[in-house]
């Protein structure tokens, strides 16, 4: 929540909209160039913030941009969604499922990154190649780029927000060396950011609507959602279901077994409940097999998000945003794209994990 609130704050002061406008403005009149720039900027921002906030931030922008440029928004929307849910694997802070699965294992920020960077890069390269081939015909057409440029709404607050986010990430990287839990670092940076923002706004004698908007758009629904899933998973554990799942998965290769099971499991019960369940299932495994299973489950929880719209909370929120902006993408069409992109991406991520581990 702390990381998300910092990202939402940066969104409220216009940082992401400005960055998107700047990058997309350099795409000239080529849809292929625009497509590449969008994939790169979404990937980079997702690595350092979170997939959910990037999806929520960029979707309205893409719909608006595509309407003005008179181009089909679907290739760019799919590109954004795939990039956000692929590169969210790279750092432990990229997705709540990464945090939940890995923080109880004693794996440091650096160890996690060194393990996941190759599988993430492989999945990222493969997903982009497939996306380009999939939408090749549509991207051949030119477009009339919008002349509207987005400016940073508040340079001071933007600088303060970016500085706090950067400090937070740096401290997380060295957290295992300074013996500070990552939740304390993120919460401390979040508190510091909002105290600084409050002081600046009060000094200017301005309203506090930016802070209010930030808290208003925080994903509070995650709290009862995750707590409820804890209860359900504990119930399954009590009646022996988690043990049965562990027994079935132990019969094959750990990385392939848990990777594919988590990938499809996320699309049966959503990736957050799946992560809670698989965290419990892996407790029966001895090291290093448990770590192998958890890393594979991280890959499944991220890449499973673009197999079906119910694979992740981001997918559910994303499809709701598309309807709001009048973009038509049916459940069946989403799955068609998902099968073509997600399955190969998941397989190369698993292969990458096998190489690294």
Question: The tokens of 285 are what?
Answer: 């495994």
Size of the chain, expressed as the number of residues it contains: 357
Q: Report the chain's mean pLDDT, rounded to a whole number.
A: 87
What is the pLDDT, as a whole number, of residue 28? Answer: 64
State whether residue 72 is helix, strand or coil.
coil
**pLDDT value of residue 195:** 95
Q: Which residues of the chain have pLDDT under 50?
A: none
Res 133: pLDDT: 96
In this structure, are residues 304 and 267 in contact, taking their beta carbons and an 8 Å threshold? yes
CA atoms of 330 and 332, how far apart (whole Å)? 5
Quote the pLDDT of residue 286.
87
pLDDT for position 143: 66
What is the number of alpha carbons within 13 Å of residue 155 lying toward its C-beta? 1
pTM of the model: 0.80
Q: How far apart are alpha carbons 254 and 295 in whole angstroms?
A: 10
Give the side-chain half-sphere CA count within 13 A for 126: 21
Residue 119 to residues 44, 51, 89, Cα–Cα distance (Å): 16, 17, 9
| Res 207: pLDDT | 81
| pLDDT of amino acid 12 | 82
């Amino acid at each position: 929540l702390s990381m998300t609130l910092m990202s939402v704050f940066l969104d409220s002061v216009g940082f992401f909209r400005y960055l998107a406008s700047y990058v997309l403005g350099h795409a000239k009149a080529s849809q292929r160039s625009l497509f590449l720039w969008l994939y790169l900027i979404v990937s980079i921002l997702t690595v350092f913030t979170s997939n959910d906030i990037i999806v929520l931030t960029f979707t309205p922008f893409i719909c608006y941009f595509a309407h003005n440029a008179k181009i089909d928004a679907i290739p760019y929307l799919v590109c954004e969604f795939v990039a956000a849910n692929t590169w969210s694997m790279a750092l432990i802070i990229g997705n709540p499922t990464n945090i939940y699965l890995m923080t109880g294992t004693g794996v440091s920020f650096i160890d996690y990154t060194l393990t996941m960077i190759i599988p993430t890069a492989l999945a990222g390269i493969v997903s982009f190649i497939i996306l380009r081939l999939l939408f090749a015909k549509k991207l051949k057409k030119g477009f009339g780029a919008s002349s509207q440029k987005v400016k940073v709404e508040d340079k001071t607050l933007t600088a303060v927000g970016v500085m706090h986010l950067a400090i937070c990430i740096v401290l997380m990287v060295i957290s295992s060396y300074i013996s500070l839990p990552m939740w304390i670092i993120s919460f401390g940076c979040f508190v510091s950011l909002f105290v600084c923002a409050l002081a600046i706004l009060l000094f200017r004698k301005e309203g506090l609507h930016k802070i209010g908007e930030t808290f208003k758009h925080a994903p509070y629904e995650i709290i009862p959602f995750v707590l409820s899933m804890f209860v359900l998973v504990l119930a399954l554990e009590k009646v022996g279901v988690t043990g049965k799942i562990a027994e079935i998965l132990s019969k094959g290769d750990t990385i392939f077994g848990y990777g594919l099971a988590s990938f499809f499991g996320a699309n049966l019960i959503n990736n957050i409940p799946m992560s809670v369940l698989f965290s419990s299932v892996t407790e029966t495994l001895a090291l290093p097999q448990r770590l192998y299973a958890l890393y594979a489950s991280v890959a499944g929880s991220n890449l499973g998000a673009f197999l079906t719209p119910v694979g992740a909370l981001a997918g559910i929120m994303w499809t709701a945003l598309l309807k709001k902006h009048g973009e038509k993408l049916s459940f069946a069409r989403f799955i068609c794209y998902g099968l073509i992109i997600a399955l190969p991406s998941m397989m190369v991520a698993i292969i990458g994990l096998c190489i690294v581990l």
